[in-house]
């Protein structure tokens, strides 16, 4: 069994329905066109049976030309109908996938980087590729196959019953066994697909984490252990993938067995009846045309069921994928604050009765705060008192649950903000590209002054290629202090006039910390600076000190 309750299965169906959205109508049109194409195929077989009987009774080409002409016309009509059905389904599936990727992109872009439950990059990559791709086969194959399986067998059964109730009874007795066994196998297939998709997402995240931490793994001689772990996880995914394939092959074998038995029994009855050994089961005499037509359409009774069985695993994979997608689209995340449309120089910042809560849990109690442009402020308080949350609010990395953050007294305005964290982010690329963040309008002539302000000139001088030196991701080939000073130089090259720093001297030695503090306060001349810190050297140089614990009513907060 899939292990899911009826409510969870209903939620999966609703998630799929929501993802399909406006494309439900074209997908329905595609499914009905595929049904029409199958009915046209029955008409083609009708013409073939008539042609054979006519040719055997009167061997003249002219006698069967009308039937051959009708057959050719029906073949062309079926090709057109099937092409239209496939084209509509493909366009609709592509639209659903494109919209789903867009929704995922927007949803993930709105999640605050401070949300600890934010999906890992590997999981996001899996969602955007494997999970969204799993929706395509379901939309283009499963939905038409499901409708054909509901209509075509009934049409074939009624047509067969018109010629022989025994042949119809044979088909009727074998047909229902297929859905029963397919349902039993299908539930196992869905459970296996869900486990496989979750394992793939987990391994992608784990692999990316190992790659990011490769330097640390080497330092601690943990590469063999990490390699063994990845091999073990890869083997688990291989085993789960083979389990899904095993179930798929089992369902195909069950279907083919019952289909072969049904067609074989129908063929035996028709053959014995035409030979005169059996004389019952038909309304009068079973003619050659009737026998041929029944034999030709008997496989078509099982074909929709076979197509449905083959596509059932697409449905199982799509439900599992939609469940993972809905976890991102439907969950409550710590959201980024909406950006103001206007960017101005910072003359004042104020928080009016602002609080932050997530899932009913208060992260930052309500408070109010007024900051004038050009102030240099130190935020102090014990760990967990809310310093980092307050900085994130001012930076727009968290949307307030109540109240508003106003820049220059206006809600639709923002300032040019710069952020300096404990571990500045750097991209894989040249130092120059990292200092300018790849801005095309960057002035390279301003580099020396920015580097001197941040006391980072000697860092560049030691590099073999200077500004063209290639930095690894997050500047792993530099020390923490060097990265901090280069980050200050990067801020100096921007037009930011509102600087937020979160524990900029944490984990730095005394000399390096002094250099970072000097560079930071030199940079902040004439600008607004707010620093969350435990460092008394920063506190002593700040013009204003705010105790966050008192600011928020003395409540102890959970760190974001």
**CATH number for the domain that contains residue 373:** 3.40.50.300
Across the range 118-126, mean pLDDT stands at 80
Lowest mean pLDDT: which of 153-162, 260-269, 273-282?
Answer: 273-282
Do residues 50 and 159 share a domain?
yes
Phi-psi region of 434 (alpha: psi -120 to 50; beta: other; left: phi over 0): alpha
Domain end marker among 329, 350, 383: 329
- Residue 557: inside a domain, yes or no? no
Cβ-count burial of 136 within 10 angstroms (0-12 exposed, 13-18 middle, 19+ buried)?
Answer: middle
Across the range 193-221, mean pLDDT stands at 68
pLDDT tens per residue, range 71-81: 999 999 999 99
Do residues 168 and 310 share a domain?
yes
Do residues 152 and 292 share a domain?
yes
Element counts in the chain: helices (H) and strands (E): 20, 12
Proportion of the chain above pLDDT 70, given as a percent: 87
More confident residue, 253 or 333: 333
- Residue 192: inside a domain, yes or no? yes
Do residues 424 and 522 share a domain?
yes
Whether pTM > 0.85 for this model: the answer is: no
Measured CA distances, 550 to 365, 386, 405 (Å)? 11, 11, 19
Do residues 148 and 92 share a domain?
yes
User: 339 pLDDT exceeds 80?
Assistant: no
User: 556 pLDDT exceeds 60?
Assistant: no
Do residues 387 and 535 share a domain?
yes
In angstroms, the CA 520 to CA 373 distance is 17
- Indicate the pLDDT class of residue 44, thresholds 50, 70 and 90: very high
In angstroms, the CA 508 to CA 521 distance is 17
* Contact by Cβ (8 Å): 122, 206: yes
* pLDDT value of position 232: 81
User: Residue 432's domain spans which residues?
Assistant: 342-551
In angstroms, the CA 237 to CA 98 distance is 27
Do residues 440 and 314 share a domain?
no
- Residue 337: inside a domain, yes or no? no
- 260-280 exposure pattern, b = at least 16 Cβ within 10 A, e = fewer: eebbebbbebbeebbeeebee
* Contact by Cβ (8 Å): 151, 35: yes
Element (H, E) at 457: helix 457-462
* pLDDT value of position 87: 94
Widest Cα–Cα separation across the chain: 112
- Contacts of residue 181, defined as CB under 8 A and 6 or more positions apart, other chains included, come to 251, 254, 258
- Indicate the pLDDT class of residue 197, thresholds 50, 70 and 90: low
Element (H, E) at 373: none
Sheet bearing 528-532, strands edge to edge: 417-420, 498-502, 528-532, 376-380, 544-547
- Residue 556: inside a domain, yes or no? no
Across the range 25-33, mean pLDDT stands at 93
Lowest mean pLDDT: which of 104-108, 152-156, 180-184, 349-353?
Answer: 180-184
Do residues 419 and 305 share a domain?
no
- Residue 1: inside a domain, yes or no? no
In angstroms, the CA 526 to CA 373 distance is 8
* Contact by Cβ (8 Å): 297, 163: no
* Contact by Cβ (8 Å): 557, 389: yes
Cβ-count burial of 516 within 10 angstroms (0-12 exposed, 13-18 middle, 19+ buried)?
Answer: buried
- Indicate the pLDDT class of residue 472, thresholds 50, 70 and 90: confident
- Residue 130: inside a domain, yes or no? yes
- 283-320 exposure pattern, b = at least 16 Cβ within 10 A, e = fewer: eeebeebbbbbbbbbbbbbbbbbbbbbbbbbbbbbbbb
- Residue 526: inside a domain, yes or no? yes
- Residue 138: inside a domain, yes or no? yes
Do residues 256 and 369 share a domain?
no
User: Which residue's structure tokens are 């009737």?
Assistant: 290
Do residues 325 and 351 share a domain?
no
* Contact by Cβ (8 Å): 403, 352: yes
Please report the sign of the dihedral spanned by the C-alpha atoms of residue 423, residue 428, residue 432, residue 438: negative
Do residues 305 and 385 share a domain?
no
* pLDDT value of position 251: 65
In the chain, how many domains are there? 2
- Contacts of residue 376, defined as CB under 8 A and 6 or more positions apart, other chains included, come to 521, 524, 528, 529, 541, 542, 543, 544
* Contact by Cβ (8 Å): 426, 475: yes
Domain end marker among 290, 307, 329: 329
Do residues 36 and 148 share a domain?
yes
- Indicate the pLDDT class of residue 428, thresholds 50, 70 and 90: confident
pLDDT tens per residue, range 507-532: 888 888 888 888 889 888 989 999 99
- Indicate the pLDDT class of residue 205, thresholds 50, 70 and 90: low
**CATH number of the domain that residue 251 is part of:** 1.20.1560.10
User: 306 pLDDT exceeds 80?
Assistant: no
Residues in the chain: 560
User: 410 pLDDT exceeds 90?
Assistant: no
Domain end marker among 329, 357, 375: 329
Over its C-alpha atoms, the chain yields an Rg (Å, rounded) of 35
According to DSSP, the β-strands at 498-502 and 528-532 are parallel
């Amino acid at each position: 069994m899939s292990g899911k309750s009826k409510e969870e299965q209903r939620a999966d169906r609703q998630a799929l329905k929501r993802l399909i959205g406006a494309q439900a109508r074209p997908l329905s049109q595609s499914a009905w066109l595929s049904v029409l194409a199958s009915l046209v195929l029955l008409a083609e077989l009708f013409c073939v049976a008539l042609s054979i009987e006519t040719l055997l009774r009167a061997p003249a080409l002219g006698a069967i030309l009308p039937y051959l002409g009708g057959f050719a016309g029906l073949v062309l009509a079926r090709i057109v109908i099937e092409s239209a059905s496939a084209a509509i389904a493909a366009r609709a599936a592509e639209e659903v996938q494109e919209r789903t990727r867009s929704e995922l992109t927007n949803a993930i872009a709105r999640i605050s980087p401070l949300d600890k439950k934010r999906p890992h990059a590997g999981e996001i990559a899996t969602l955007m590729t494997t999970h969204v791709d799993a929706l395509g086969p379901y939309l283009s194959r499963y939905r038409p196959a499901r409708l054909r399986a509901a209509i075509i067998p009934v049409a074939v059964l009624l047509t067969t019953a018109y010629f022989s109730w025994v042949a119809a009874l044979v088909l009727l007795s074998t047909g229902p066994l297929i859905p029963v066994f397919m349902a039993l196998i299908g539930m196992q297939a869905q459970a296996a697909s869900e486990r496989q998709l979750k394992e793939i997402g987990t391994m992608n995240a784990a692999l990316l984490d190992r790659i990011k931490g490769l330097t640390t793994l080497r330092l601690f001689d943990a590469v063999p252990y990490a390699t063994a772990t990845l091999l073990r996880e890869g083997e688990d995914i291989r085993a789960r993938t083979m389990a899904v394939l095993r179930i798929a092959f089992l369902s195909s074998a069950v279907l083919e067995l019952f289909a072969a038995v049904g067609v074989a029994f129908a063929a035996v009855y028709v053959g014995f009846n035409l030979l005169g050994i059996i004389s019952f089961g038909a309304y009068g005499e079973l003619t050659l045309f009737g026998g041929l037509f029944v034999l030709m359409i008997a496989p078509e009774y099982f074909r929709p069921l076979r197509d449905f069985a083959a596509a059932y695993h697409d449905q199982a994979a799509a439900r599992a994928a939609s469940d993972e997608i809905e976890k991102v689209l439907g969950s409550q995340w710590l959201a980024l604050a909406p950006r103001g449309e206007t960017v101005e120089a910072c003359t004042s910042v104020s928080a009016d009765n602002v609080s932050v809560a997530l899932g009913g849990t208060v992260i930052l109690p309500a408070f109010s705060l007024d900051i004038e442009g050009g102030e240099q402020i130190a935020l102090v308080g014990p760990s967990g008192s809310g310093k980092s949350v307050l900085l994130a609010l001012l930076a727009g990395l968290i949307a307030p649950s109540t109240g508003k953050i106003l820049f220059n007294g206006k809600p639709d305005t923002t300032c040019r903000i710069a952020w300096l964290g404990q571990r500045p982010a750097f991209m894989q690329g040249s130092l120059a590209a990292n200092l300018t963040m790849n801005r095309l309008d960057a002035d390279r002539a301003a580099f020396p002054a920015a580097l001197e302000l941040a006391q980072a000139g000697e860092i560049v001088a030691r590099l073999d290629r200077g500004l063209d030196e290639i930095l690894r991701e997050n500047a792993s080939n530099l020390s923490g202090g060097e990265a901090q000073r280069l980050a200050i130089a990067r801020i100096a090259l921007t037009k930011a006039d509102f600087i937020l720093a979160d524990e900029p001297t944490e984990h730095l030695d005394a000399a390096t910390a002094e250099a970072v503090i000097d560079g930071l306060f030199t940079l902040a001349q004439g600008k607004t600076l707010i620093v969350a810190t435990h460092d008394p050297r920063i506190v002593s140089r700040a013009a204003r000190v705010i105790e966050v614990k008192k600011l928020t009513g003395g409540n102890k907060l959970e760190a974001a």
